[in-house]
Structure 1
Amino acid sequence: MNTNTYRVKIQGPLACFTNPIFKVERISYNVITPSAVRGCLDAVLWHPGVTWHVSRVEIHAPIKKIQLMRNEVKDVALKERPHIDITASRTQRHMLALRDVCYVVEVALRYDHDLGCRLSGRADYRGSHGKFAEMFERRLAAGQHFHHPYLGCREFAADVRFDDKTTTATDLDFTELMVYDPASDAEREVFIADVRGGVYEIDGRFALVGGGCQLPDFPRFLVVLARTSSSDSTSSMR
């Protein structure tokens, strides 16, 4: 299987990578998650046979937070009742988001032709690794995309480009505890990534972030708890 590796810069004025352990308010992680990186790359190029392997995340801006108040709806649209009365169900909720974020990520584009044919339902589909690699490079260089990339929430637009090497990683040290969905069949539920010098790396098991396909045992969500390296306590989900 052919592989193309890229260094991509992802930045934007606002971001919110919501931590699902908070049931009501939106509280952002301190750093972008691999699944959010996948979302930005899928926004540029998506295909059933394309998978993105995220191996390294660099934090190129200090962690700054901002509190926002947003109008949301408290009801969920159902199949039997697809329409929601916004006026009646409107509610205000706090959000603790990140501002002025900038990340440089190392990712690998891989294309599996057989997988693409199977998932697309087209046995005669004519595609190649080179075709999709060139398409991704052309779109990224021109600032084009399949749909507009965003940083956690649709209203927080992201600028995704090749790394222009105008910024460097910050001097940050903290630990990321990533807990995968316990309901999945994943052999490992916990992955600890130590951020050192503003950089954290993802090993081979957790580097695969599916594009058009999701592996049967791939976790359905990430929970990331952050603590500073100077803290004497250990964060625990359980």
Structure 2
Amino acid sequence: MGYGIALEVWGAYGLFTRPEMKVERVSYDVLTPSAARGIIEAIYWKPAISWHIDRIHVYNPIEFTNIRRNEVSSKISASIVDSVMKGSAKPLYINTNADRQQRASMVLKNVRYIIQAHFELTDKAGETDTVEKHYNIALRKMRNGQCYHNPYFGCREFPANFRLVEGDFPKSGLTGERDLGYMLYDIDFTNLEDIKPTFFRAIMRDGVIDLSDCEVFR
């Protein structure tokens, strides 16, 4: 993988919600591959490339804390947006005072990871889209701390700091093997009529979750 990157990310909190929790939000033990991809895509994404996560290095001990957050209980439906675009006078907003509700969340605290990833060209790449071109742009943005929008750890309330790691990086202080169970891998948008989540068995060895050859379940 000559065009891979290593990106260090860290922050005060992270919330990578388990889908089986229906009422209160409970985070997975570590950053999920889909959240890691979202962080990188917040920095640099184009239709011509597709990012793939190879490894997640976990540096800080896994710690949880409970917080309460205000959330809205509804969202604007696509049908209402479509009606307004066609001239309807329906309200196109959410009344946060009426829809606000308080929910408890079990979140991670003091998180720090190094994400190893690479990208591949997609079928939307044009004649001017080369691997070298996109690689150099991604490196420049990561070196300069630039991004399309601020990356975050699962929720926008939990921003992620980032820096490009060049050369060797330290080994994790976590040792031994830890089975983290089945975790969300990504969302499969191949069939837009039948969007499905995919999962994998997360095994952390000496602080590293290797995704380069993991089995994905649908």
1:74 aligns with 2:73: yes
Q: Which residue of 2 aligns with 1:116?
A: 125
Q: Which residue of 1 aligns with 2:202?
A: 193
Deviation string 1:2-59 (CA, Å, 9 cap, x unpaired) is 8501221111111101111111211111100110110011011110121112111110
Q: Which residue of 2 aligns with 1:236?
A: none
Unaligned runs of 5+ in 2: 81-90, 189-193
Q: Which residue of 1 aligns with 2:98?
A: 88
Cα contact 2:53–2:115 (8 A) shared by 1? yes
Equivalent residue of 2:153, what SS?
Answer: coil
| Alignment counterpart, residue 183 of structure 2, candidates 178, 185, 190 | 178
What is the Cα deviation at residue 166 of structure 1? 6.7
Closer, same or farther in 2 for the Cα pair 1:155/1:184, shift >3 Å?
Answer: closer
Closer, same or farther in 2 for the Cα pair 1:95/1:34, shift >3 Å?
Answer: same
Distance 2:58 2:203 in 1: 13
Higher mean Cα deviation, 36-45 or 69-78?
A: 69-78
Question: Which amino acid letter does the alignment assign opposite residue 45 of structure 2?
Answer: W
What is the Cα deviation at residue 184 of structure 1? 6.0
Q: Which residue of 2 aligns with 1:212?
A: none
Cα contact 1:3–1:109 (8 A) shared by 2? no
CA RMSD in angstroms, aligned pairs only: 2.8
Q: Which residue of 2 aligns with 1:234?
A: none
Distance 1:88 1:108 in 2: 44
What is the Cα deviation at residue 179 of structure 1? 5.8
TM-score for both structures, normalised by structure 1: 0.73
Distance 2:50 2:169 in 1: 28
Closer, same or farther in 2 for the Cα pair 1:128/1:206, shift >3 Å?
Answer: farther
Distance 2:215 2:6 in 1: 18
Higher mean Cα deviation, 158-167 or 101-110?
A: 158-167
Q: Which residue of 1 aligns with 2:153?
A: 151
Distance 2:214 2:201 in 1: 12
Equivalent residue of 2:134, what SS?
Answer: helix
Percent sequence identity over matched residues?
A: 30
Q: Structure 1: which 4+ aligned runs deviate by more than 3 Å?
A: 164-168, 178-186, 203-207
Equivalent residue of 1:127, what SS?
Answer: coil
